[in-house]
Amino acid sequence: MSEAAQDAVAAAAGRQTPRGTPLRFSKMHGAGNDFVMIDLRDGTAPPSPQLAARLADRHTGVGCDQIITIEPPRAPMSVASYRIWNSDGSSSQQCGNGARCVAAWLVRNGDTGDREFAIDSPLATHSVRTLGEDRFSVEMGVPVFEPAQIPLIGFARPRDEYLLPLQGETVRFGAVSMGNPHAVIEVGLVDAAPVERLGASLQQHASFPESVNVGFAQVLEPDHARLRVYERGVGETLACGSGACAAAVSLMRRGRLGPDARISLPGGELRIQWAGEGQPVLMSGPSAFVFEGEWNA
């Protein structure tokens, strides 16, 4: 989201529900990546960055990785749109696990009449398919490898791997945008990966002017990899849907994974399918309702 758009959202957020009016929400998670879901289709303004951070606080708030607001659709054939707010109050442009939870929320609410429907993320319209047993597949869009569009500064053309000097070592990583920027580092043992140290350093590196989500991937078999993700605005999460897509396509592009792969994250497993350059990524996985509640703003 551009700075101008963020400013507009912040201005709109000043029109909050009056203090003392309960804000209804659903707590959900997708493979352990957890969300506070808020229905804003009645015209209620989105949460301010300060309110989003308060809601996300795991000690004094509801507790979550992201807040997701469900809003009226933008595209003619879509059921609804959604926006994403990180636990630090910043906005995000994409969230794969969140998209599945939006789909599940809409199905439970009776807003979808078919097994296949569409929802609008902050960036695009996504086709959704209901798989049964609280599982959904979401078409996540075509991955972007052009450095300027990730954005990744200092490299003129796409590469399978990039090298950057960082903290006295040379870091090798793949880079891709799934609507948000991702760096993917292949490691020998994901349990021993320096996720917080290296993830935080890459996020602050000048080569990533909009920061970056950093994935640490261990290939187990040609159709299976393990992954941990250090997300911008959140830190390490139990799962990251767009991160799983980014890791899969980065490894597929290098021949390290086949076109249909399981990505195991600390919170669960996602299936990623990609037919190759210029084709959209299909992500499948679970969604779950945890509880309903009211926030006394």
Catalytic residue set? 95, 240
Antiparallel, parallel or unpaired: β 224-231 and 260-265: parallel
Nearest to 48 by CA among 97, 83, 94, 95: 83
Tell me the sheet residues that pair with 177: 144, 181
Residue pointed to by tokens 């509640």? 293
Residue pointed to by tokens 């991702």? 182
The answer to whether 64 and 30 are in contact (CB under 8 A) is no
Tell me the sheet residues that pair with 139: 282
Residue 174 CA to residue 250 CA, distance in Å, equals: 6
Nearest to 183 by CA among 169, 166, 199: 199
**Which residues are part of a known binding site?**
33, 66, 86, 96-97, 180, 213, 231-232, 241-242
Both tokens of 70, joined, read: 């469900």
**Which residues are part of a known binding site for substrate?**
33, 66, 86, 96-97, 180, 213, 231-232, 241-242
